[in-house]
Amino acid sequence: MKDFFLTNEVPIHKKALGVLFFLTYAFFPFDLIPDYLAFLGLIDDVVIASFVLERFVKIAPESLKKKHKFIEK
């Protein structure tokens, strides 16, 4: 993750979009399933976090994908 933000290969607007994704969810968490429902309440948090991380991988340059051994299908 650190490499994504430190490299010059990723345009600044993509870096800003990534930060915006994280900050939006941190300050306005949208729960499909309320967290008080024990294990089920965490599922939507995991799904949204996975989606955001997947977006980071998709917009990362090929050099970073190769460096960290991410393979797209």
Q: How far apart are CA 63 and CA 42, in angstroms?
A: 33
Q: 8-31 pLDDT, tens per residue? A: 888 899 889 888 877 887 777 666
Q: How far apart are CA 49 and CA 10, in angstroms?
A: 21
What separation in angstroms does the CA of 6 have from each of 10, 28, 51, 60?
Answer: 8, 27, 22, 12
Q: How far apart are CA 49 and CA 63, in angstroms?
A: 23
Rounded to two decimals, what is the model's pTM?
Answer: 0.64
Q: What is the mean pLDDT of residues 55-73?
A: 80
Amino acid at 46: V
